[in-house]
């Protein structure tokens, strides 16, 4: 393939990188429209250059396929949503609506794009680090806020440690197989006898990723970061990178290390059950909404690990669907939080009290989001859970399915609590949501799409299955 | 859109519209009109129904091919009476709650209309996933009805209601998923014909039983019911007692017996035992209550125990007698739906006047409310199974059938009549009769036109079924015969 052809297929990434530079340098008032333009241009470039078949680029280091493009479009859409939500944040608009913030958000997308197409461990690592290096300053951006600085440091140190784990695991893989190319790695591993070095490498890689994704017992940073960072940064962190994390897992384990599936599925199951257990139980005790959502994120990560732990194409499809739905739910929840929080930075769960009396429409939207998180029908969250359960039962692991659903019931409690505060209680301090009607519209659309996905699930389910198919079996 | 689809979605759409309406008077009339429309449709469906024709009014389109889930509706002789009951009670519940809500009136009626649509969906679904979706979605409006418009301890009751039912239903979901994977279909009728090993059946049976036992509710998972009933507004209690509990019995009929016949046979002792505990122990518990709503709630548990007894005793009976007991159980479900709804309306009527549910706060109500007193006594007698009322028909059928399985079973089952008479009559004696001692009671006004309309509307079918149950029996019998065939078509090679 000629260089020109490769450049055309890399156009989305090129648009992002060039656009990010322009956003950094442009006058302040142009930063926001330019960011939207860049993201829209990226989506446009992706649609315009979509290849018919999966194509290898850059001497086999990067793969472009139209199925994964769908997820990358989703990453862009979620990013746009989040950046728009972040504009509702009244505190420090000079920092959180600055050129730097938008530039970092776009570079985060570059990292996620690289992860999504990586066919080589180095590309994968590069993508992950670009993403992580965009997130650290984003969290630290509120530099006069002591807590933000503290959690940024915490996140940085643990993130660096996790990267170290991942790299060490990769190097062990390289030591045994002599290749960093994921496709070659997969075919090499199929011929190799299992040995301890491989096992060690695999465990290190999984631990590194579990750190990044916040699965128990590697979750310690997550509640602190969710609670301490500025909401716009947390919103960004909570939604789009989850999709990238899933792609990372799919690429590394379901594709590269498929030959070792017997070993990593067991480990993933352990991570899944621990995450579900800890996330759901500890979330009950939280009084601050962001900490609650953090533990809920851990529990949802548990569900994704459960799906992948099934070790089947079905399981991978369900993981994609689950993550897709979760990204929308997380974006919606934080978007709602930003809207409700336009007044002060206090985020006690009690602040939801009496919302139905003052803002019945917003209360219904929160109700949809919460029931979707709990996995109750009439919302997309139900299919997400159903699909995972189906994959898990299909793999013959029905006791795990039982454990998962029982913990879902535990989880339902803390989502219900928000609903009952809104509907059953009187407000101590009436919430004063922002008057930003575009924000209200976006959050409502964000919540209602979950109902729409419930009514018309087939295309999304097919999309998830197709995405999973790209990874199955290695290439 | 099919007739059944219209019955499901019309009230839900009307509910959304009710959210937008501002004027309370308009909202009330709108809700009543919508529920009346659904009731008319239900009557049309019933008139066009041929008892011998199996599933009718079917409507089927593929919905989620990825999961083999269809949007598939249909009714047979087991579900049609419950659909009509739901539409009927839905209408009366709106009338009962006419003045309950003082704010968010639109939300109040919207919740009831949506609840009605979802409940009809539960009974019409022929696809298990669809059934599950309605089954669980219905928790949302009920949760809000108890929690927003309930009395003091409503939050506790609403959350307990939600979590109990959710717990039962998620295990049921795992069972459904397992069945769907094994049979590659979510159609309930496919599952009926699908053969399973006895080990599989046992696990499936237990999972399904837990899901439905919470709904029935059977002892020992019944504790949410007294709380929910006591705290819910009168209209909520009416729907809860009359329809929600029936979903448990319906689920056992539709899922447990035909899908896991071997396990049902092997474990029928368990269900019969739990049912008898409900009849006897809960019957005595009801006797001790001082709160009228609690008393009726416990009476509901005892009566529903009688229903589950009638269903599961069938393995100990000849086919003829099994017909008698299962039909009796279904009639008992319908009858209990009507009678318990009426009793909750009666308590609501008293509560509106005195703001108390305590039996002690009343006495001599007959002096000031003669018409109400007569109706209250009538429904209490129906609850006790007086001949001529619907309560009698179901009870006598089940008890007669149970005699064949063993006289001591029948004797224990008959306790439902004895205890039912005891607590029902004792309650009316203390509330309705005697001298009126409380000044508030002396100032009572008799029934308003609306209240009278509700109670008379309920009294008519109670009498009709009691005096002439043949049309109803004709309606259900072909389906019951088919159910008994399925329930005795042992799949794993186990001999009866």
Nearest-CA distance from A406 to chain B in Å? Answer: 7
What is the distance between the alpha carbons of residues A72 and A444, in angstroms, rounded to a whole number? 23
> In a 3-state reduction of DSSP, which class is residue A102?
helix
B493 domain-assigned: no
Q: Does the CB of A420 have a partner CB in chain B at under 8 Å? A: yes
Using CA atoms of B67, B70, B74, B75 in order, give the dihedral in degrees to the nearest 10.
Answer: 10
List of chain A residues whose C-beta atoms are within 8 Å of the C-beta of residue B185: none
Query: Is A377–B137 a contact, with Cβ atoms under 8 angstroms apart?
Result: yes
List of chain B residues whose C-beta atoms are within 8 Å of the C-beta of residue A394: 181
Q: Does the CB of A303 have a partner CB in chain B at under 8 Å? A: no
Residue B317: pLDDT over 70: yes
Query: Is A409–B163 a contact, with Cβ atoms under 8 angstroms apart?
Result: yes
Nearest-CA distance from B160 to chain A in Å? Answer: 10
Per the structure, how many domains does chain B have?
A: 1
Q: Which pLDDT band, with edges at 50, 70 and 90, does B114 fall under?
A: very high
Of A387, A393, A457, the CB nearest to B174: A393
Name the closest residue on chain A to residue B131, using Cα atoms: A377
Burial class of B130 by CB neighbour count within 10 A (0 to 12, 13 to 18, 19+): buried
B21 domain-assigned: yes
Name the closest residue on chain A to residue B137, using Cα atoms: A377
Name the closest residue on chain B to residue A421, using Cα atoms: B155
What is the distance between the alpha carbons of residues A342 and A339, in angstroms, rounded to a whole number? 6
A346 vs B383 pLDDT, higher one: B383
Residue B495: pLDDT over 50: no
pLDDT reported for residue A310: 87
pLDDT reported for residue A473: 52
Q: How many CB pairs under 8 A join A and B?
A: 95
pLDDT reported for residue A133: 92
Of A402, A424, A457, the CB nearest to B171: A402
Residue A378: pLDDT over 80: yes
Nearest-CA distance from A286 to chain B in Å? Answer: 18
For range A438-456, the mean pLDDT? 91
For range B318-342, the mean pLDDT? 89
Query: Is A401–B167 a contact, with Cβ atoms under 8 angstroms apart?
Result: no
Q: Which pLDDT band, with edges at 50, 70 and 90, does A434 fall under?
A: low
What is the distance between the alpha carbons of residues B192 and B175, in angstroms, rounded to a whole number? 14
Residues 6 or more apart in contact with residue A72 via CB below 8 angstroms:
A12, A46, A112, A113, A116
Q: Does the CB of B16 have a partner CB in chain A at under 8 Å? A: no
For residue B255, give Cα distances in angstroms to A174, B230, B246, B307, B482: 55, 30, 14, 16, 14
Q: Does the CB of B162 have a partner CB in chain A at under 8 Å? A: yes
pLDDT reported for residue B1: 61
* B106, B174, B182, best to mutate vs chain A, most A CBs in 10 Å: B174
Name the closest residue on chain A to residue B173, using Cα atoms: A386
pLDDT reported for residue B494: 45
List of chain A residues whose C-beta atoms are within 8 Å of the C-beta of residue B171: 402, 405-406
Of A377, A401, A424, the CB nearest to B148: A424
B110 domain-assigned: yes
For range B262-291, the mean pLDDT? 88
Q: What is the residue-averaged pLDDT of chain A?
A: 87
Query: Is B177–A389 a contact, with Cβ atoms under 8 angstroms apart?
Result: yes
Helix B370-383 × helix B390-405 angle, to 10°? 20
Q: Does the CB of B170 have a partner CB in chain A at under 8 Å? A: yes
pLDDT reported for residue B441: 76
Q: Does the CB of B71 have a partner CB in chain A at under 8 Å? A: no
Q: Residue A23 is encoded by which pair of tokens?
A: 């956003």
ipTM of this complex prediction, to 2 decimal places: 0.89
What is the distance between the alpha carbons of residues A28 and A26, in angstroms, rounded to a whole number? 6
Q: Does the CB of B171 have a partner CB in chain A at under 8 Å? A: yes
What is the span of the domain harbouring residue B324? 3-488
B496 domain-assigned: no
**Which pTM does this prediction carry?**
0.91
Query: Is A409–B167 a contact, with Cβ atoms under 8 angstroms apart?
Result: yes
For residue A20, give Cα distances in angstroms to A72, A75, A105, A129, B478: 17, 16, 9, 17, 72
Q: Does the CB of A458 have a partner CB in chain B at under 8 Å? A: yes
Q: Residue A8 is encoded by which pair of tokens?
A: 């055309």
* A411, A424, A463, best to mutate vs chain B, most B CBs in 10 Å: A424
What is the percent of chain B with per-residue pLDDT over 90, rounded to a whole number? 19
For range B427-442, the mean pLDDT? 82
What is the span of the domain harbouring residue A116? 3-471
Q: Which pLDDT band, with edges at 50, 70 and 90, does A263 fall under?
A: confident
Query: Is B147–A398 a contact, with Cβ atoms under 8 angstroms apart?
Result: no
Nearest-CA distance from B133 to chain A in Å? Answer: 5
pLDDT reported for residue B487: 80
- Chain A, window 336-375: residues with a beta carbon less than 8 angstroms from a chain B beta carbon: 356-357, 360, 367, 371
Q: Does the CB of B65 have a partner CB in chain A at under 8 Å? A: yes
* B15, B164, B181, B231, best to mutate vs chain A, most A CBs in 10 Å: B181
Query: Is A423–B147 a contact, with Cβ atoms under 8 angstroms apart?
Result: yes
Residues 6 or more apart in contact with residue B58 via CB below 8 angstroms:
B2, B72, B73, B74, B126
Q: What is the residue-averaged pLDDT of chain B?
A: 87
List of chain B residues whose C-beta atoms are within 8 Å of the C-beta of residue A465: 66
Per the structure, how many domains does chain A have?
A: 1
Burial class of A133 by CB neighbour count within 10 A (0 to 12, 13 to 18, 19+): middle
Q: How do residues B280-310 score in pLDDT, each as one tens digit?
A: 898 898 888 888 888 999 999 988 988 998 8
Angle at B112 between CA A416 and CA B33, to 5 degrees: 160
Query: Is B159–A420 a contact, with Cβ atoms under 8 angstroms apart?
Result: yes
Q: Which pLDDT band, with edges at 50, 70 and 90, does B267 fall under?
A: confident
Q: Does the CB of B113 have a partner CB in chain A at under 8 Å? A: no
Q: Does the CB of A378 have a partner CB in chain B at under 8 Å? A: yes
- Looking at residue B389, the DSSP 8-state letter turns out to be S
List of chain B residues whose C-beta atoms are within 8 Å of the C-beta of residue A409: 163, 166-167, 170
For range A411-429, the mean pLDDT? 85
Q: Which pLDDT band, with edges at 50, 70 and 90, does B56 fall under?
A: confident
Of B139, B158, B170, the CB nearest to A405: B170
For range A332-353, the mean pLDDT? 77
pLDDT reported for residue A430: 65
Query: Is B140–A408 a contact, with Cβ atoms under 8 angstroms apart?
Result: no
Q: Residue A81 is encoded by which pair of tokens?
A: 């949503």
Name the closest residue on chain A to residue B170, using Cα atoms: A405
Q: Which pLDDT band, with edges at 50, 70 and 90, does B117 fall under?
A: very high
B176 domain-assigned: yes
List of chain B residues whose C-beta atoms are within 8 Å of the C-beta of residue A460: none
What is the percent of chain A with per-residue pLDDT over 70, rounded to a whole number? 95
List of chain B residues whose C-beta atoms are within 8 Å of the C-beta of residue A413: 159, 163
Residue A345: pLDDT over 60: no
> In a 3-state reduction of DSSP, which class is residue A79?
helix
Q: Does the CB of B177 have a partner CB in chain A at under 8 Å? A: yes
Query: Is B167–A461 a contact, with Cβ atoms under 8 angstroms apart?
Result: no
For range B404-432, the mean pLDDT? 86
Nearest-CA distance from A457 to chain B in Å? Answer: 7
Partners of residue B71 on adjacent β-strands: B61
Asked whether A50 and A396 are in contact (CB, 8 A), the reply is no
Q: Which pLDDT band, with edges at 50, 70 and 90, does A203 fall under?
A: very high
Size (chain B), residues: 496
Of B147, B177, B181, the CB nearest to A424: B147
What is the distance between the alpha carbons of residues A45 and B115, in angstroms, rounded to a whole number? 47
Residue A88: pLDDT over 70: yes
For range B220-229, the mean pLDDT? 89
List of chain B residues whose C-beta atoms are within 8 Å of the C-beta of residue A425: 155
Other beta carbons less than 10 A from residue B189's beta carbon: 17
For residue B43, give Cα distances in angstroms to B87, B335, B466, B475: 9, 18, 20, 14
pLDDT reported for residue A342: 60
- Looking at residue A310, the DSSP 8-state letter turns out to be T
Partners of residue A57 on adjacent β-strands: A62
Size (chain A), residues: 475
pLDDT reported for residue A411: 87
Residue A369: pLDDT over 90: yes
B84 vs A52 pLDDT, higher one: B84
pLDDT reported for residue A474: 43
For residue B104, give Cα distances in angstroms to A424, B27, B111: 12, 11, 11
Name the closest residue on chain B to residue A425, using Cα atoms: B148
Name the closest residue on chain B to residue A423, using Cα atoms: B148
Residue A93: pLDDT over 70: no
Q: How do residues B71-88 score in pLDDT, each as one tens digit?
A: 988 888 888 999 999 999
């Amino acid at each position: 393939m000629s260089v020109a052809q490769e450049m055309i297929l890399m156009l989305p990434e090129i648009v992002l990188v060039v656009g990010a530079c322009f956003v950094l340098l442009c006058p302040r008032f142009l930063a926001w429209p330019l960011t939207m333009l860049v993201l829209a241009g990226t989506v446009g470039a992706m649609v315009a250059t979509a290849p018919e078949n999966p194509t290898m680029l850059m001497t086999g280091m990067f793969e472009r396929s139209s199925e994964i493009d769908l997820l990358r479009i989703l990453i862009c859409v979620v990013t746009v949503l989040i950046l728009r939500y972040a504009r509702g944040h009244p505190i420090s608009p000079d920092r959180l609506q600055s050129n730097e913030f938008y530039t970092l958000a776009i570079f985060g997308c570059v990292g996620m794009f690289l992860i999504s197409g990586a066919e080589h461990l180095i590309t994968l690592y590069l993508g992950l680090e670009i993403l992580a290096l965009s997130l650290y300053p984003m969290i630290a951006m509120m530099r006069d806020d002591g807590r933000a600085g503290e959690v940024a440091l915490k996140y940085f140190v643990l993130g660096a440690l996790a990267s170290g784990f991942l790299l060490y695991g990769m190097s062990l893989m390289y030591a045994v197989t002599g290749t960093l190319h994921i496709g070659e790695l997969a075919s090499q591993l199929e011929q190799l006898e299992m040995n301890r070095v491989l096992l060690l490498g695999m465990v290190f890689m999984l631990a590194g990723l579990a750190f990044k994704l916040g699965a128990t017992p590697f979750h310690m940073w997550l509640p602190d970061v969710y609670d301490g960072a500025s909401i716009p940064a947390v919103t960004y962190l909570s939604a789009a990178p989850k999709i990238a994390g899933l792609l990372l897992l799919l690429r590394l384990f379901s594709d590269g290390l498929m030959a070792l599936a017997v070993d990593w599925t067991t480990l993933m199951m352990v991570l899944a059950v621990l995450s579900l257990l800890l996330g759901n139980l500890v979330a009950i005790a939280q009084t601050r909404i962001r900490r609650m959502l953090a533990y809920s994120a851990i529990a949802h990560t548990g569900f994704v690990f459960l799906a992948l732990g099934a070790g089947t194409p079905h399981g991978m499809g369900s993981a994609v669907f689950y993550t897709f739905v979760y990204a929308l739910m997380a974006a919606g929840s934080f978007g709602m939080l930003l809207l409700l929080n336009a007044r002060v930075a206090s985020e006690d769960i009690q602040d939801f009290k009496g919302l139905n009396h003052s803002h019945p429409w917003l209360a219904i939207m929160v109700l949809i989001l919460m029931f979707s998180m709990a996995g109750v029908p009439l919302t997309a969250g139900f299919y997400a859970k159903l699909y995972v359960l189906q994959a898990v039962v299909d793999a013959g692991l029905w006791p795990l399915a039982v454990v998962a659903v029982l913990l879902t019931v535990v989880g339902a409690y803390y989502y219900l609590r928000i609903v009952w505060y809104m509907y059953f209680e009187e407000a101590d301090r009436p919430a004063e949501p922002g008057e930003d009607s575009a924000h209200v519209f976006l959050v409502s659309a964000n919540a209602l799409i979950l109902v729409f996905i419930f009514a018309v699930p087939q295309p999304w389910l097919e999309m998830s299955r197709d995405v999973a198919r790209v990874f199955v079996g290695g290439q | 859109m099919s007739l059944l689809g219209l019955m499901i979605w019309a009230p839900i759409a009307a509910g959304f519209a009710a959210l937008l309406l501002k004027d309370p008077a308009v909202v009330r009339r709108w809700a009543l009109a919508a529920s009346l429309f659904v009731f008319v449709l239900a009557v049309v469906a019933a008139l066009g129904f041929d008892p011998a024709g199996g599933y009718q009014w079917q409507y089927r389109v593929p919905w989620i091919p990825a999961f083999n889930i269809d949007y598939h509706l249909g009714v047979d002789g087991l579900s049609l009476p419950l659909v009509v009951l739901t539409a009927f009670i839905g209408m009366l519940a709106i009338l009962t709650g006419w003045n309950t809500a003082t704010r968010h009136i639109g939300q109040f009626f919207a919740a009831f209309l949506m609840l009605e649509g979802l409940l009809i969906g539960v009974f019409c679904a022929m696809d298990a996933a669809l059934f599950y979706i309605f089954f669980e979605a219905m928790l949302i409006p009920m949760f809000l009805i108890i929690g927003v418009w309930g009395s003091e301890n409503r939050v506790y009751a609403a959350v307990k209601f939600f979590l109990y039912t959710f717990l039962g239903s998620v295990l049921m979901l795992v069972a459904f998923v397992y069945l769907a994977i094994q049979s590659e279909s979510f159609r309930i009728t496919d599952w009926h014909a699908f053969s399973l090993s006895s080990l599989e059946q046992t696990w499936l049976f237990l999972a399904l039983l837990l899901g439905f036992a919470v709904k029935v509710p059977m002892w020992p998972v019944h504790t949410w019911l007294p709380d929910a009933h006591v705290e819910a507004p009168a209209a909520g209690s009416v729907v809860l007692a009359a329809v929600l509990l029936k979903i448990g019995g319906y689920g056992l009929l539709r899922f447990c017996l035909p899908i896991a016949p071997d396990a049902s046979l092997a474990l029928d002792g368990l269900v019969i035992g739990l049912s008898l505990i409900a009849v006897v122990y809960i019957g005595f518990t009801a006797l001790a209550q001082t709160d009228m709503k609690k008393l009726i709630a416990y009476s509901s548990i005892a009566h529903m125990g009688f229903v589950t007894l009638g269903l599961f005793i069938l393995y100990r009976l000849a086919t003829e007698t099994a017909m008698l007991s299962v039909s009796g159980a279904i009639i008992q479900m319908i009858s209990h739906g009507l009678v318990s709804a009426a009793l909750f309306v009666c308590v609501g009527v008293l509560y509106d006047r005195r703001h108390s549910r305590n039996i002690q706060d009343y006495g001599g109500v007959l002096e000031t409310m003669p018409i109400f007193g007569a109706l209250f006594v009538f429904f209490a007698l129906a609850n006790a199974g007086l001949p001529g009322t619907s309560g009698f028909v179901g009870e006598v059928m089940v008890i007669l059938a149970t005699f064949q399985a063993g006289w001591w079973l029948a004797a224990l089952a008959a306790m439902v009549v004895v205890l039912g008479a005891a607590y029902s009559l004792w309650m009316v004696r203390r509330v309705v009769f005697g001298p009126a001692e409380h000044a508030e009671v002396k100032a009572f006004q008799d029934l308003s036109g609306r209240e009278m309309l509700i109670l008379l509307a309920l009294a008519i079918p109670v009498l009709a079924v009691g005096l002439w149950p043949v049309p109803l029996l004709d309606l259900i019998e072909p389906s019951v015969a088919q159910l008994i065939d399925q329930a005795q078509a042992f799949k794993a090679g186990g001999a009866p």
